Structure 1
Amino acid sequence: MKMHMLSGGRLQMSKRTYLPDAARGEMIELPVSCVLLRHTQGNVLFDTGCHPDVATDPEGRLGTLAKYMRPIMPADDHVLTSLKAVGLGADDIDVVICSHLHTDHCGCNAFFKKATIFVHALEVEAANADNAFDRGYIKADWDHPLKMEIFDKQVDVFGDGKLTLVPLPGHSKGTTGALVKLDNSGEFLLASDALSVRANLDQRTSPRNSLDVDQFLKSLDEIARLEASGVKIICGHDEAQWASLQKGPNAYT
């Protein structure tokens, strides 16, 4: 199996959302990461990032959410362009794993018409709740006539231990990471927003946008346990880590 790190856009938010000691008004840049996994049984995309319209018409796509998560990427910085750079199109993706259904993680789902969409049951529930928009869920991102595989526990996607979905709630009810085992590069946890920025793990702090702080901190404990066992942790939006990663055609194997 090969793992390709792909860009799904770039946002800017208040730094205090993630780091409580940051100065008021200080901003943080957040790369939006997507991950392509090329398994012998199919091509998997972990998260689909921001919809292309987020760059060109943020208010039209995000509504009032655009005030809090400001797009700062060019119009061609999205997962479809990133896939093209590795020689694939949307129809080449067999499985899409939604770490959760917030707009910057499933914005391009609609383009993957041939894929099966894996999503935690609690995310479907949250995305359908009356207050869904206020919590970052936009129907245009996820409400499509696509084949869905809804789960509520750990899932070995291909039955060979190479790709296991691991629920890591706290940021949202059904936030899910993916444990990836590669032959040469070792094990990785794609943590998504269970760990958006590395500092939250190092300082054992919860971002202000966590739905459930206690659950978030328990998930941090699990992430720390995995790291102590030798698993490399890939954060959802950490700028310093993103700059250090191999990206695009330069795969981890």
Structure 2
Amino acid sequence: MKMDILSAGRLRMRKSIYMPAESKEEMVELPVVSVLLRHSAGNVLFDTGCAPQAADDPAGRWGGLAKVMQPIFSAADTVVHQLPKHGLSADDIDVVICSHLHPDHCGCNAAFGRATVFVHRAELAAARAEGADKQGYLPQEWDIAQGYSEIDGQKDLFDDGKIVLLPLPGHSPGLTAARVELERDGTFLLASDAAPMTRHVDEGYAPKNSWDMDLAVSALEEIKVQKDRGATVICGHDEAQWQQLSSRQEGFR
């Protein structure tokens, strides 16, 4: 199995959301990460990132959320335009794993009409709840024609231990990570916003934009356990890690 790290957009947000001690006026730029997994049973995409339309018309696509989570990317930086660099198109993706249904993680879901799209049952319920748009669940991002395959608990995607979905609620009600086992490069945990930055894992505190702070801290504790056991944690928005990963042209195996 081969794993590649893809650009899925870029955001500007208040630094204090992720680092509470920082000034509320200071901003931070955040990469948005998607992961392509080429399994013998099919091509898998973990998170589809930001929609290209958010680059061209942020307010039109995201409404008021675009002021809090400012898009600073071009359409070319989104997943649907990155896949051809890896010899694939949207129609070549067989499975999408949706960590959660916030716009910067599910914005291209609709482009993968041939794929089975997995999401946690609790996450879908949160997105469908009354007033969910005020919690960052925008129907134009997550509500897709092909619908979702719901999970409720761990799921071994191909029943071989190579891609295992792990619910880690806290940032959102149904946030789901994925543990990936590669033959050469070992174990990876695709953590998404359960661990937006490496510092959150190492220091054990959750960002302010967590749905449930206690659960978010518990999720970070579980991630730290897996890291201490040797897993490489791929964070959702860590700039230093992104610079390192994006420079690795050969991917992981």
Q: TM-score, normalised by structure 2?
A: 0.98
What is the CA deviation profile of residues 118-157 of structure 1, one whole-angstrom value per residue up to 9, with x for unaligned ones? 0000011000011211111111112122152101100000
In the TM superposition, what are the counterparts of 1:125-204 in structure 2 within 5 Å? Answer: 125-204=125-204
Letter in 1 for 2:47: D
Partner of 2:15: 15
Q: Is contact 1:82-1:248 (8 Å) kept?
A: no
Letter in 1 for 2:164: T
Q: What RMSD, in angstroms, separates the aligned Cα atoms of the two structures?
A: 1.1
* Equivalent-residue separation in structure 2 for 1:121 and 1:16 (angstroms): 31
* Equivalent-residue separation in structure 2 for 1:69 and 1:111 (angstroms): 22
Q: TM-score, normalised by structure 1?
A: 0.98
* Equivalent-residue separation in structure 1 for 2:72 and 2:143 (angstroms): 26
Q: Is contact 1:85-1:249 (8 Å) kept?
A: no
What is the CA deviation profile of residues 163-215 of structure 1, one whole-angstrom value per residue up to 9, with x for unaligned ones? 00000110000001000000001000000000011121222111110000110
Partner of 2:235: 235
Letter in 2 for 1:121: R
Q: Is contact 1:99-1:176 (8 Å) kept?
A: yes
- The alignment-based identity, stated in percent, is 53
Partner of 2:30: 30
The ranges of structure 1 where at least 4 consecutive aligned residues each deviate by more than 2 angstroms after the TM superposition are 246-250
- Residue segments in structure 2 that go unaligned for 5+ positions in a row: none
Q: Is contact 2:119-2:149 (8 Å) kept?
A: yes
Q: Is contact 2:75-2:81 (8 Å) kept?
A: no
* Equivalent-residue separation in structure 2 for 1:195 and 1:81 (angstroms): 26
* 1:31 shift after superposition: 0.3
- Residue segments in structure 1 that go unaligned for 5+ positions in a row: none
Q: Aligned with 2:223: secondary structure?
A: helix
* Equivalent-residue separation in structure 2 for 1:202 and 1:224 (angstroms): 7
Q: How many residues were matched structurally? A: 253
What is the CA deviation profile of residues 72-108 of structure 1, one whole-angstrom value per residue up to 9, with x for unaligned ones? 1123110011101101000000000000000000000
Q: 1:246 to 1:57 in 2, by over 3 A?
A: closer
Partner of 1:221: 221
Q: Is contact 2:49-2:78 (8 Å) kept?
A: yes
Letter in 1 for 2:151: F
Higher relative contact order (CA 8 A, sep 6+): 1
* 1:12 shift after superposition: 0.4
